[in-house]
Amino acid sequence: MTTTTTRAIPVLDDDPFTEESLRDPLPFQERLREAGSVVLLEKYDVYAMGRYDTVHTALLDWQSLQSSAGVGLSNFRYEKPWRPPSLLLEADPPHHNAPRATLEKILSPRAIRRMTPAWEQDAHDLLDEVLSGPREFDAVPALAEVYPLRVFPDAVGLREEGRDALLPYGNHAFNAFGPANFLVVEGAPHTQSLSAAVAQMCARGQLEESGFGADIWAASDRGDISVDQAPLIVRSLLTAGVDTTVHAIGAMIYALASNPAQWEALKADPSLVRTAFDEAIRLESPVQTFFRTAKSDVEIDGHLIPEGKKVLMFLSSANRDHRRWDAPDAFDLTRDPSGHVGFGMGIHQCVGQHVARLEAASLIGAMVERVDTIEIAGPTERHLNNTLRAWHSLPVRVTLR
Ligand code: 4IA
């Protein structure tokens, strides 16, 4: 391939990682989608894509677009990673294969389904507590943050000590995929102690005898993975499994509370709980972005991306691309959201998605049984993060059935 066959790449001078853009990312995402299928973001010298087709294709092309140079802005070819790279997220085949296969088995739909009775009971217990108090409350601390932290650390087999590091550790990890902006600077003083707390929880002796953590260590006994790999694979659960589910549940509660007709539709047909969750993931894309690195000169839709350059995929923008979705900005339980790229696509597609789906279905399923109406009761507040779309505060008012 020669450069004479490729087309000029549109250039944008936008910075998607400013406070203003993170607060309201939709205007930039629209400019990105409409500027072209691949756009050079001058400020960072990265190639960004926001159309569904292009993002989808890029996610599947692990041969050309590698993960092992990091899936953040930082290029591991030239910069030292802030922590030892993830054996799942920041790895390519063949190294990716054994950790992925191990975790896929441990988090399989069948394995996760076994949690259903306990997690449904936990959801009802939490609602007993919350709904016995004032009928106006902040759904972020009361539900979205509490519920995953009730069920997931127990399922991993974590002791109590160190659990309070999980959310802030994940928050920093997701900021660290972006540039070293104000959010990374704010988080920096705490990184070392949070990393140490999380690393400690991954050790075999710190984990309960049953749970996902013990399952990972058992895989090392069988030789499926090495003993050195086990604690890092446990770390992946702790990095990827807490903030993501908290913010996904927040997104779902917000979507339902601000779309009363959809809440009514869900009450009328509770089998829609899983659609509601995936539709909320599509609409809000709790994980907004990920990078890849061009393994060699790559041609995408006629555009040349030079070897070693970073490629920034806007999952969020793809999930609202009018080329793929009718009325993309509407939260609509009659659509089939299942092609969204909010969990990624291809060999790295979220290995924990069955965990996330069961958490969300258990909580919202319990709410549907007990709550008659839910509405936004006051000013909402965003939680800013370089990768996550999140709520800090969601005041809601509920009436009971
Ligand atoms: C890991 C994409 C995101 C949910 C994620 C973050 C961290 C890791 C995996 C996935 O540390 O392995």
Mean pLDDT throughout 342-359? 98
Q: What is the pLDDT of residues 58-108, one digit of tens each?
A: 999 999 999 999 999 999 999 999 999 999 999 999 999 999 999 999 999
Residue 273, Cα to own-chain centre: how many angstroms?
A: 19
Pocket of ligand 1 (CB under 6 A): 86, 88-89, 236, 239-240, 244, 287
The pTM score is: 0.97
Q: Which atom of ligand 1 is nearest to the CA of 241?
A: 4
Phi first, then psi: give them for residue 8, nearest 5 degrees: -65, 140
Q: Whose Cα sits closest to atom 2 in ligand 1?
A: 240
Residue 6: pLDDT band (50, 70, 90) is confident
The pLDDT of residue 118 is: 98
Q: Considering only CA atoms, which residue is closest to atom 12 of ligand 1?
A: 236
What pLDDT is stored for residue 305 in this prediction? 97
Protein residue with its CA nearest to atom 1 in ligand 1: 236
Interval between CA 368 and ligand 1 midpoint (Å): 31
Q: What is the CATH number of domain 11-314+346-400?
A: 1.10.630.10
Q: Distance from the CA of 80 to the center of ligand 1, in angstroms?
A: 18
Q: Kindly give the distance from the C-alpha atom of residue 277 to the centroid of ligand 1, in angstroms, as a whole number.
A: 20
Give the closest residue (by CA) to ligand 1 atom 3. Answer: 240
Distance 399 CA to ligand 1 centre (A): 37
Q: Give yes or no for residue 3 having a pLDDT over 60.
A: no
4 confidence band (pLDDT: 50, 70, 90)? low
Q: How close is the Cα of 104 to the center of ligand 1, in Å?
A: 14
Name which of 173, 214, 197 is nearest 84 in CA terms.
173
Residue nearest to atom 11 of ligand 1 (CA): 236
The DSSP element (H or E) to which 300 belongs, if any, is strand 298-300
Ligand 1 pocket: which of 59, 86, 92, 288 to mutate (most atoms <8 Å of CB)?
86
Tell me which residue has its CA closest to atom 4 in ligand 1.
240
Backbone φ and ψ for 158, nearest 5 degrees, come out as: -80, 145
> Given the CA of residue 244, which atom of ligand 1 is nearest to it?
4
Question: Tens digit of pLDDT for each residue in 106-160?
Answer: 999 999 999 999 999 999 999 999 999 999 999 999 999 999 999 999 999 999 9
Q: Three-class SS of residue 129?
A: helix
| Structural contact between residues 304 and 79, judged by C-beta atoms closer than 8 angstroms | no
Over the stretch 263-285, which tens digit does the pLDDT of each residue have? Answer: 999 999 999 999 999 999 999 99
Measured in Å, residue 239 CA sits from the centre of ligand 1 at: 6
pLDDT in tens, 183-229: 999 999 999 999 999 999 999 999 999 999 999 999 999 999 999 99
How much of the chain, in percent, has pLDDT values that exceed 90? 98
User: 267, exposed or middle or buried, with CB in 10 Å at 0-12, 13-18, 19+?
Assistant: middle
Tell me the backbone φ, ψ of residue 391, rounded to 5 degrees.
Answer: -110, 140
Q: Give the model confidence (pLDDT) of 235-266 as tens digits.
A: 999 999 999 999 999 999 999 999 999 999 99
Alpha carbon of 57 to ligand 1 centroid (Å):
20
Give the residue extent of every domain in the chain. Answer: 11-314+346-400
Task: Report the separation in Å between the CA atom of 118 and the middle of ligand 1, taken as the mean of its atom positions.
Answer: 26
Helical residues (DSSP H) of 97-204, grouped into ranges: 97-106, 109-113, 116-131, 139, 146-156, 166-176, 182-201
* d(CA 260, ligand 1 centre) in Å: 33
Distance CA 145, CA 128 (A): 16
Among 68, 71, 82, 89, the mutation site with the greatest number of ligand 1 atoms within 8 A of its Cβ is 89
Per-residue pLDDT at 159 = 98
> Computed from CA positions of residues 184, 190, 193, 194, in that sequence, does the dihedral angle turn out positive or negative?
negative
Please state the rounded mean pLDDT for residues 230-234: 98
Q: Order across the sheet with 371-376: list the strands.
A: 136-138, 395-400, 371-376
